[in-house]
Structure 1
Amino acid sequence: MIKSPFLQNSLMLAPLIGATGSLVSAVGLWLMFMAVTSAFGLSMNALRPRLLSASRLLASVLIAATLTSCAELGAQAWSLQWHQQMGVYAGLIAVQCVLLEHSGYFQSSLADRLRMCGVFGVLMAGLGLLRELIGYGTIARHLPWLAGSAQADWQGWALSADGGLRLAILAPGGFILLGMLVAGWQIWHRPAP
């Protein structure tokens, strides 16, 4: 397998589009990503010198699946509504851990790892905030989910009385918004003629 940063970054696209329907879902999945990848990195750094190169892939798959399953069970016990909202995207964290291990991410410097996780977190939170603002017309609509309570009367800070454009909270709306943001970024950073 070719160690391609394109592949490791493209796997982050699914949670970036699917789990960013609201700010709370995006931040919660990013926090879970940080916790699982940190625990995975520590585990593999302890085991890597003791493993043969042929058994490293199997060990990383088992550790990633175990840690992700434990994190999902913890999320389900903490807040069932939030766990149901992010659903399948948490399982992709295990695949991402294995791919990051294979690409040498955990052997890179701490600054590089923190930069990648930070960029991913900013993208998740930013896209979640934009999609929630456009789709619901609120900010932090499901904040009690992340706090572990099921407070039914909290609706977030409403910015629009009639809601918003519902397409923004669906996956196609996420692709459209991300495409518009990438196009805006390219226009903004275009070299002067």
Structure 2
Amino acid sequence: MSRSSLLAHSLMLAPLIGATGSLVIALGLWLMFVVVITLFGLGINALRPRLLPSTHVWASVLLAATLTSCAELGAQVWSLQWHQQIGIYAALLALQCVVLDYCGFFQNTWRSRLRTYGLFGALMVGLGLLRELMGYGTLGIHLPWLMAETQSQWQGWILNADGGLRLATLAPGGFILLGLLIAAWQAYRPTPTK
């Protein structure tokens, strides 16, 4: 794995840990990620032939910041509660766009990009689902946020009336759970025979 590829993947770790406290927050941020990254890729690929090499980074930063700001404003209009929960992680999408462009991600095939989108989405949604089940004892607790409903009595599907382990919804719980999932993957992954 190259250093630039490692940087791009490590930047995905911040929203993976910080914005997966519940299923709805994780799903919403992943959808925002897909929209912003896709629009950025289309825009930068259209601009690339017209840019001088010395202005490419500046154009990339400007385009990423513009698209991310527009997505954040749209999120505020759509659902303020959801936007407040994703916090700084939505703003990190601009940095992710610039780093992915630097790594050559947008010169890859559509199949490769869709694979990355799908893998990141599966990780976000899976970790959000596990953390919500463990932390709140519910499923879909914040679902009205994505439907732009502000005064909903929806409490989600309650699986445990006493709640859950609060640590699972916090960032340290996300690190612990991700570490346990990686350890389980390493333990049960078939080892290649020599």
TM-score of the aligned structures, taking structure 2 as reference length? 0.96
1:151 deviation in Å?
3.3
Match for residue 23 of structure 2?
23
C-alpha distance in 2 between matches for 1:164 and 1:192: 39
C-alpha distance in 2 between matches for 1:3 and 1:188: 28
Change (3 A) 1:102 1:192: closer
C-alpha distance in 2 between matches for 1:134 and 1:97: 32
Residue 141 of structure 1 aligns with an amino acid whose one-letter code is: I
User: How large is the RMSD of aligned CA atoms in angstroms?
Assistant: 1.2
Match for residue 152 of structure 2?
152
How much identity, in percent, do the aligned residues show? 66
CA contact (8 A) 1:3 1:102 kept: no
Match for residue 122 of structure 2?
122
1:3 deviation in Å?
5.4
C-alpha distance in 2 between matches for 1:184 and 1:3: 26
Match for residue 98 of structure 1?
98
Structure 1: where are the runs of 5+ without partners?
Answer: none
Residue 118 of structure 1 aligns with an amino acid whose one-letter code is: G
CA contact (8 A) 1:135 1:169 kept: yes
Q: How far does the alpha carbon of each residue in 1:92-133 deviate from its partner, in whole angstroms, 9 at most, with x for none?
A: 000000000010000100000000010000000000000000
Match for residue 138 of structure 1?
138
C-alpha distance in 1 between matches for 2:48 and 2:192: 48
Q: Secondary structure at the match of 1:91?
A: helix
C-alpha distance in 1 between matches for 2:141 and 2:47: 42
Match for residue 181 of structure 2?
181
1:72 aligns with 2:72: yes
Structure 2: where are the runs of 5+ without partners?
Answer: none
1:190 deviation in Å?
4.3
Match for residue 165 of structure 2?
165
* Segments of 4+ moved more than 3 angstroms: none
